[in-house]
A and B are shown apart, each in its own frame.
Chain A
Amino acid sequence: DQQVKQNSPSLSVQEGRISILNCDYTNSMFDYFLWYKKYPAEGPTFLISISSIKDKNEDGRFTVFLNKSAKHLSLHIVPSQPGDSAVYFCAANLEYGNKLVFGAGTILRVKS
């Protein structure tokens, strides 16, 4: 049973436009959410995070929104750049045990 779901396997966006990546979760014990970016032949790298007590966190071109009632979060990238093309993983931290549960990932392609 997947507790963190990324239902879109891939997303294609034109350079300069907004990219929106979505993530849904089922476990109400998650207290922190993170987004990781992964390029081929590299390990995932941390991008941005949000605590469950907040509904928005912004860092430059990246903004994460959290809707606790819907158990949904999204990552917005504005404007999208070709270098943003990568696999994006949503991850959630369990309040107890400090373990991350990852979604399946979404492949983002930004076309120039």
Chain B
Amino acid sequence: DADVTQTPRNRITKTGKRIMLECSQTKGHDRMYWYRQDPGLGLRLIYYSFDVKDINKGEISDGYSVSRQAQAKFSLSLESAIPNQTALYFCATGDSSSNEQFFGPGTRLTVL
């Protein structure tokens, strides 16, 4: 079984809809991250959390919110989706003892 899972893997939605992307991990890591990937821009950090009670904005947090429901779960919400939020979204986990992050398989989101 994968250590970092994301659901759904693909989603098509309409402008204005609320969307939630979910991430779960079995690695026992305390740190979790949400990124989006756009062509030519690499991965950009949306939000990150170093602990259950800790939430931090990343480089591009506008239009997004997150919830750290448990150490193993970190969800990303788009309250009112817009077309320029069409992208590939990745969840990642990390440990305080290492700089390495471990990524999930990604969610391809299309906002029409």
- Whether, in the assembled complex, A66 has its beta carbon less than 8 Å from a beta carbon of chain B, the answer is no
Is B42's CB under 8 angstroms from A103's CB?
A: yes
Q: Which residues does B use to contact A, with CB under 8 Å?
A: 4, 31, 35, 40-45, 48, 50, 58, 90, 92, 94, 96, 99-106
Chain B neighbourhood of A102, CB < 8 A: 35, 42-44
Q: How far does the alpha carbon of A2 sit from the alpha carbon of B4 in the complex, in Å?
A: 28
Are B99 and A43 within 8 A (Cβ)?
no
Q: Contacts A43-B103, A45-B103 given; 18 further ones with Cβ under 8 A? A: A6-B42, A32-B99, A34-B99, A34-B100, A36-B103, A41-B105, A42-B106, A43-B92, A43-B104, A43-B106, A46-B100, A46-B101, A49-B99, A89-B43, A98-B50, A102-B43, A102-B44, A104-B40
Q: In the bound complex, what is the Cα–Cα distance between A89 and B50 (angstroms)? A: 23
Within 8 A of B (CB), among A19-51: 32, 34, 36, 41-46, 49
- A99, B48: Cβ atoms closer than 8 Å: yes
Specify which of B35, B40, B92, B99 lies most central, judged by the most chain A CB atoms within 10 Å of its CB: B99
Please state if B103 and A98 are interface contacts (CB–CB under 8 Å).
Answer: no
Given the complex of chains A and B, what is the CA–CA distance between A36 and B100 in angstroms? Answer: 10
A86 within 8 A of B: no
Q: Kindly list chain B residues whose C-beta atoms are within 8 Å of the C-beta of A99.
A: 45, 48, 58
Within 8 A of B (CB), among A39-77: 41-46, 49
**Chain A stretch 74-95: residues in CB contact (< 8 A) with chain B:** 89, 93
A98 and B94 within 8 A (CB): yes
**When chains A and B are docked, how far (Å) is the Cα of A4 from the Cα of B44?**
11
B45–chain A nearest beta-carbon distance, Å: 6
A46 and B42 in contact (CB under 8 A), knowing A98-B31, A99-B58?
no
A25 → chain B, closest Cβ, in Å? 13
Chain A residue at minimal CB-CB distance from B38: A104
Shortest distance between the CB of A30 and any CB in chain B (Å): 10
Q: Which single residue of chain A is at the shortest CB-CB distance from B40?
A: A104
A13 at the interface (CB under 8 A from B): no
